[in-house]
Structure 1
Amino acid sequence: MARKGYANLEAELSESIPSQKLDRATMWVKARQDKNGCFKEPEVEETAERIERLKKKESDGELTTDGSDDVLTLALGKPEHPGRVRGVGGFTKPASYFNLPKSRKKSVEETLRKSVKLILEEEKESIVAKERVAWEQERDRQVAEERAYWTAKIGRLEAKIDGKEVPLESPESPKQLTPLHEHGSGQGSCSRPAEKILIDIVEGDGKTVKKKLVLAEEKIFVQEDQQVATDQPMQKLTSIIEEEVRVHISSKNSDNELQVDGNDCGLAIDRVENIVAYGTVIQVNVEEGNQKIHGVPLGEDNVRVSVIGTIVHDALLPFPVKDADIVTVGDAIGTCVAWPRKLVVIPAPEAPPKPIEQKITKRANPKKRIRDSFDDDNEDLENLPTNLPLPVKDLCMWAKTELMDGATIHTTFGGEIFGHSRKAVIFRRDIYNMANMLEVSGGVIVFYMSYIYGVLKKSKMLDMVGFMDPAHTGIIGCGNPTERARSMSNRYMLGKPGQIFLVPYNSGAHWMLSVVNPDEEAVHFMDPLKRRLCAGEWKSIVDNSIKIFNAQKGRKGRKIIQWKNLAGIPEQTDSKTCGYFVMRYMKEIVEDKNLEFATKWERKSNLAYTQKDIDVVRAEWANHVMKF
């Protein structure tokens, strides 16, 4: 280069080489070549060859450079001088050469990102506005159809009372049986959960019988008023047709009758013994296929039931009605919902179900019991297995005589355990299963979780570990996946920063445990059968619950939730003890004050639980149940 300088050399080379290729590494090489392109020293030639190799890697994406750590610095193996820039000249400072372009690029990217975000938000608002307008138009259309339908219906009733002939319904008449509720779907039999009136307009002599359903103190009474003459038909019709009414027209020419079964039935969740409400089976247009309820197909395996009373008020419906905010059995009182046919318990005709009453048996530790005519007492609590833990044996001896005629042990846990009040029930069959190492129910799991809550309280670890209600996670009777994800996210919101949650999950016939840390967006998965990490509905529910939690917190969060399968947990050796293993997992987690369960069970091992280890859990559970 002699005394030409980098500036003059760059101007000379720009005539034959594109300016974008004249980086400082190229300038450094060209400055050390003679007119023939040769190097005077072999060390310089080796450095030039090294520069060419690094450039090729950079162009192929194998090498990433940043700032002053570029190709020339890597080839020379020496950091950049703080006062000058090699291959550029002595008047250019490192701060202006390396940092300024990078800062400008970052500013442009941030501006572009903000602009794109603003455009997306405006597009989202536009879409939401269009959908709202379409929804309001559909609602107005349904209201108009309902108004026309009921106007014609009332006209037919007035003609019936006047003794005139009732015209047949036209095929185009809508099939809605109730007025459109402002929160309802407008289809099927959706009504507000309030006192309902059932009126039968009976053919003959122009007289009617008025029947009212009165709900009081969880008992159902049917009152039949005296017959009323119809001298003033319009006044009488107005007095008996109140805000919402179900109508039954006995017509020989009509096949679309509303048939109401007079017998009450029990409505169960998960299994037939777990009755959470009682109601009546309603059959509408039985001969027609593709029946709908709240705008959703009823399905061949489900029936339409009218909920008229509850036992577990906060139990989730098998099929919640989101549009009408009907999620629990308490919300569904007085309305019709879909219920699995196999979980509708209909008593024998000669022994109709009795009103639900509360009975308390006094003893050393009084047991609160609730009378349930739908349960049986066939479990043998006298011929017990040998080597039974003493607390379990004592509980069986007591239950043998006290838990008769469907009586159960029950209590209501406060919101400090699950974030909401939780009514839990122990049946006679639960105690029998515990004694014989058979499958455990969700109620058994809940009672044990209340026990280990006490363990955490004594250890002052309540801010570290929380609990998720199994009734909000299981695949049966706990709502659809979206409802379950929202329930879990609401529980996270009530937790402490950094708190982990123990989440038992029943896939239908198998218990598993997930430990969720929503703040770190991490999940540790434990399957007593030591199968691979689940990738189906449950993983999607947990992932969505964390994403909803992040949205409620106003933070972005990760794109992918981190799941870890704890392969070193002890494995169950049969097909019925998964629940006991899940309870044992939870016990060991809460008893470790450092919460190092992930380190202990992270890798595969030969760890195993003995019968003595499981008996410890059974004894703790029995001692805890005896306190209620």
Structure 2
Amino acid sequence: LSVKMVSQQQTKDSGSKKLGMVAPQDKSSKEMKSLKKMKFASSSAETEPTSQTTISDDSKTGRGMSTMPRVVKRKLQKLRPIVEYNKRGKGIGQAHSEMQSYIGVLARSRVPLVDKKWSQIPKDVKEQIWEAVDMAFVVGQGGKKSVLTSAAKKWKDFKSTLTRHYILPYTNDKEKLSHPLETYKFIEKAQWDAFVASRLSKDFESVHSQHAQIREKLEYNHRLSQKGYAGLEDQLEETMPGVEIDRSTLWKRARQNKHGNIPDPKVAEKAKLIDELQKQVSEGKVRVDGSKDVLTMALGPEHPGRLRGVGAGISPRQYFNLPKPQRVSFDDRLKESLRVLLQEETKKMEAKAKEEALRMEARTKQLVEVEREHFLSQLSQLIPNFDPGMLKQRISQSPKNPMSDNASCSGGEVKSLHYEDDNAKNGEHQKEEEKEEEKRDEEKEEEKEKKDEEKHDDKVIEVGDYSNMEAPSSLKSLCRYVETTLLPEDKILQFTIDKEVFGGDRDTFLLHEDITQFAGMEEIGATVVAVYMRYLHDVLKQANMCSMVGFIDHATVSANSGTIADRSRLVAARLQKTDGEQIFMMPYNPGRHWILLIVRAKKETVYFLDPLPGHRVVDEEAKNIVNSAIKIYNTHIARAGRKNVIWKTLSGTPKQPSSVECGYYVMRFMRDIIMDPSLGFENKYAKGNQEASYPKEAIDEVRNEWAEFVFQIIKQGNY
């Protein structure tokens, strides 16, 4: 590097090399040597430094103490060394080294010794440091930011040095810690005492221990002085002209001692590997490509955004000349954002329309289900010994139960019940009917004879093979019983659920399809869930928990039960039949999917459990029904109640693995809740507790209990 010196007092004599400084013979050889290595700029236009920005060399005590008098002298002579930078923008040369030392002097003497962060230091103190440095050096491209960044680090290092060398070794010697150091007389006693107290605190002890552990993890420590990697590279370029200095060479040289040896065995091993790789690269055996260079191959991949062997502030993109990320104009970004937003909104609208269509379809099927049970119930009350099997051929029913989850429900068209009185004849065709009646009588006789013959055959009824069905043995046996006994006799399982279960008697009709669908792990309907709730009521009775847990019939909140106001009154009537301490479990199917609501009327709180994964929200219709029911309940017990009912989503429930298990999971939810006498379901199903699926054994346990309970009803003849 060439060296130029320009002075305010420089003469026009071309043969003179002297500067506007004192004569060389008056200077020490060390000062002369350092001056020859620096460029200078004139500062004639500058004003005299004030007492606030100049470090005086006259006094050796107090805040103005200086350890670099040559810098102050040059400032008085208006000479400012020019700080030079390498191709990567890192400071190099004698001027940079002296500037860094001067910044260290300012950071130690000007910044108070306090237990604070650099960001908490007053701005005027930082401004004084910058002004002092700017008066003494031509900082150049680094600017104010680089100076203050360096000052922050040196201030932090100064506090660390005081802590390690002058405080921690004397923790048991209070006398030595009671007075500031003679070396740093500018430190005030009050500041020293406060600083010592902060360094002996338990908080600092914890932080110091953490940093010590981090320090121990550093394997390859360098031996650089303040010149850093940039100064080392500058030095090697002077001593090794024409040789390319890559970061692997810098990394290795930075860990050598003054004799060129590497004392650390681990570092020496890596240095040997670097030498071998460099040799292979020179021989063409190994190829380097961008960031995959010799040092990366020796030490492993870099941390994102960081680079070893080049010093702080150098990014991989700067060092390897990687292309800058392509900038996209604001208009293009806006267009892309609008395009993505439009696609998302379109998908949402399509999904919403599809969901609404499915919801309407499910509600229609739900109405048919409830109408069927209501109609059969009325017939059983009007007609003595009424057998629903006589209507079986006149009921067209979907193979899949209408009250199901979000699986496919396209198994067939659901039609309303149709009952036709065989005695009702059309007058216009009465004669024709009479002729056909004789013909039918003859056919009936022939059919009767044929049936009598079939009774003597070895096998009349084909029973399905359930051996390969993945179901509990009790459920397989139930399926066989239905096919061999109920179907041949055209029987339907009809029984009454006692009023103590739902608050009123409920006639229930269990069809063959309900059982086979349940056995095949298909989507299930309202009847299957109601039967299991009847079983759980027996479990509550045995545990003496009926005063703690009750059930609300899901049929009372179905659309067939009337308007929202009508259904709210039905739910409120169920709540009024207790002392208010109970929780009520209410399965609910808004359409193609089962959920569970738990109503705690006394606390005006409702819990929402949904077996589907993801963020789920409560159906608005169900919410309105329950909210209104609780308000009616409050009126009944003469309580004003809160403005809004509290709804809590318990998202930590197990999640169904596919689209057909929601009904089974809701039944398992109810079972798990009542099996815990403390009723700690709120904590058990809190967010993040458990979101994995139930194991197969847990669902089969529910199915087995359901099947055994149905068998118990059959054996007791209560159908």
Tell me if both proteins adopt one fold, taking TM over 0.5 as the criterion: no
The structure whose Rg is larger is 2
Q: TM-score range by the shorter chain?
A: 0.3 to 0.5
**TM superposition score normalised by structure 2:** 0.37
Bigger helix fraction: 2
